[in-house]
Amino acid sequence: MNLKQILSFIIIISAFSINAQIQDQQLDKLIQETLTTFEVPGISVGILKDGDVVYSKGHGVRSLTTKKDMTDETLVGVASNSKGFTCFALAMMIDEGKLNWDDPVRKHIPEFQLYDPWVTAHFTVRDLVTHRSGMGLGAGDLMFFPEGNDFDVDDVIKGVKYLEPESSFRSQFAYNNNMFIIAGEVLKRVSGLSWEEFIETKIMKPVGMNASKASYNRVTDKSNIIDAHTRAEGEVIQIPHDWSPTANAAGGIVSNVPDMLTWAKFLMNGAVTESGERLLSEDQFHELWQLQTPLRVRANDPYDSNFKGYGLGWFLTDVKGGHKQVYHTGGLIGTVTQFTMIPDLDLAIVVLTNQMNGNAFNTITNTIKDSYLGYEDRNWIQSYGERNSGYLKYNDSIKAEVFAQVEKIKDSPKLPKPEQIVGTYSDDWFGDIIISHDENGYEIKSVRSSRLFGELLPYNATIYVAKWNDRSYDADVFVMFTFNEKGEAVSATMKYIAPITDFSFDFHDLELVKTN
């Protein structure tokens, strides 16, 4: 290559570098449009490139009640982005010789037991954090979701043995929070510290995440923290914060954009802090980002990905030309978040929101990512906006049809009498659900999850609808009764009505038997 060719090459590369980064004004405009399109009150966004923070801003409001601004320093529950911290902490214990990824869980938690005795004996710490247990999506999440229940970690350990698998062990990916809760207990038993103490003192403090806490209830200064919001009955409303500390190891961390960018910088620096302290060996850090459970890459993948899967607390894929992407999302009732790193581009993107709409963070992350990968503008806000509108309309139509049928049949003489249905129904891991009746109709309520109560409305002669009083859940379910030869209900199962229902409302896993 002669001097003229070299200079031309440098000019081309320099031009690409200048054009690669989305301009602040463009991004500001995109985020404002995202707020409106997806009805999100507030979003904060951060970009780290080549070790420098090139964007860190909040947009909109952190609360529809106070109307206070969302800033980059506004605290948000990052939810399942906490899982990467849990696995990092376990890896630190491996470096100390107190643990191995392939230790049987029973070595550290002797009382641990799953539905299948063989699986119990062979279930490892690695299995806890790779979503390949054989249980279904979100199995057992009702033991911590929603907030207001009385389940603790010991209850989770005792309860998982009743969760019947949906696939064979290690054969399929199915996201499972309870296994991470149990992984947090492993950390506690081998380290001598609670999960929260370990995360804050052994990781957050040396990394420099000074504003972050391992749990919502450990945040003492709530002067700049979001309120949660969701779409309920066709409009976005503010709702109470919802997170059970039982599940902190699966999703408890509260952070903000500057701290999450600090975390990203630390990770992309090979687990070495700004002061030069290595918190994790190269071998163990390398292990975190290795594929453990494969996932299918769809045809015509928009990023030309060749592989996708889950590592140890992280989703992994390749994007345009083989760039490895390490990422995760998180969701609570009232907020969703996204954390993305492309280490060989030294690029990290953080999007934190205070409304339950993942289309918003996907729009922003993909647009930013595309600008660095060299894609032309693909107008993600339009495609996700159309998808969001269609999806909401579809879900609303399903619910409308169901409640139209409820209204139609409510006075039918063919419906069972109250004495055929009322009573206590018990599930092995969730406990009792009570169905009662008075002059106002039927009520259904959980004994152990006090915020789960509502009306029980007839749908037909054997199926009723549980309409929860807290409409923010958007999780109404069919209650399907089985009757004996005397016409008495003897058992019941549940099935969600609309697909928008969060998978952590795993009512379908309940096997309710009438006990009185």
Which pLDDT band, with edges at 50, 70 and 90, does 20 fall under?
Answer: low
CATH classification of the domain holding 186: 3.40.710.10
- pLDDT tens profile 355-392: 999 999 999 999 999 999 999 999 999 999 999 999 99
- pLDDT tens profile 235-280: 999 998 888 999 999 999 999 999 999 999 999 999 999 999 999 9
In a domain, 396, yes or no: no
| Cβ atoms 391, 50 nearer than 8 A | no
Residues 6+ apart with CB under 8 A from 203: 85, 88, 89, 92, 209, 279
- pLDDT tens profile 400-424: 999 999 999 999 999 999 999 999 9
Over 70: is that where the pLDDT of 102 sits?
yes
Query: Do 200 and 318 sit in the same domain of this protein?
Result: yes
Q: What does the alpha-carbon distance between residue 479 and residue 418 come to, in Å, rounded to a whole number?
A: 15
Task: Write down the mean pLDDT value for the chain.
Answer: 95
CATH classification of the domain holding 498: 2.40.128.50
Query: Do 154 and 202 sit in the same domain of this protein?
Result: yes
Q: What does the alpha-carbon distance between residue 45 and residue 366 come to, in Å, rounded to a whole number?
A: 13
Query: Do 102 and 14 sit in the same domain of this protein?
Result: yes
In a domain, 394, yes or no: no
In a domain, 399, yes or no: no
| Cβ atoms 108, 258 nearer than 8 A | no
| Cβ atoms 471, 481 nearer than 8 A | no
| Cβ atoms 102, 126 nearer than 8 A | yes
| Cβ atoms 61, 46 nearer than 8 A | no
To the nearest 10 degrees (0 to 180), the angle between helices 358-373 and 24-37 is: 160
Beta-bridge partners for 478: 465, 495
In a domain, 384, yes or no: no
Query: Do 210 and 294 sit in the same domain of this protein?
Result: yes
Residues 6+ apart with CB under 8 A from 152: 246
User: At residue 515, what are phi and psi to the nearest 5 degrees?
Assistant: -105, -20
Q: How many domains does the chain have?
A: 2
SS3 255: strand
Query: Do 416 and 504 sit in the same domain of this protein?
Result: yes
Find, among 137, 185, 129, the residue nearest to 163 by Cα: 137
Query: Do 346 and 488 sit in the same domain of this protein?
Result: no
Phi-psi region of 162 (alpha: psi -120 to 50; beta: other; left: phi over 0): alpha
Query: Do 171 and 257 sit in the same domain of this protein?
Result: yes
Residues of the chain with pLDDT > 90, as a percent, come to 94
In a domain, 21, yes or no: yes
Q: What does the alpha-carbon distance between residue 249 and residue 142 come to, in Å, rounded to a whole number?
A: 16
Find, among 480, 479, 475, 460, the residue nearest to 506 by Cα: 475
Over 60: is that where the pLDDT of 3 sits?
no
Query: Do 111 and 233 sit in the same domain of this protein?
Result: yes
Find, among 467, 429, 463, 465, the residue nearest to 449 by Cα: 429
In a domain, 121, yes or no: yes
Q: What does the alpha-carbon distance between residue 45 and residue 58 come to, in Å, rounded to a whole number?
A: 6
Residues of the chain with pLDDT > 70, as a percent, come to 96
Query: Do 350 and 234 sit in the same domain of this protein?
Result: yes
Q: What does the alpha-carbon distance between residue 265 and residue 259 come to, in Å, rounded to a whole number?
A: 10
Over 80: is that where the pLDDT of 4 sits?
no
- pLDDT tens profile 326-348: 999 999 999 999 999 999 999 99
Beta strands in 173-233 (DSSP E): 228-232
pLDDT for the residue 242: 83
Q: Which of 359, 378, 397 lies at the terminal end of a domain, its last residue?
A: 378
Find, among 441, 399, 77, the residue nearest to 245 by Cα: 77
Which tokens sit at 275? 């002061």
In a domain, 401, yes or no: no
Query: Do 342 and 431 sit in the same domain of this protein?
Result: no
Q: Which helix (H) or strand (E) holds 121?
A: helix 117-122
Residue 196: give the domain boundaries.
3-378
Query: Do 461 and 340 sit in the same domain of this protein?
Result: no
In a domain, 403, yes or no: no
Query: Do 338 and 431 sit in the same domain of this protein?
Result: no
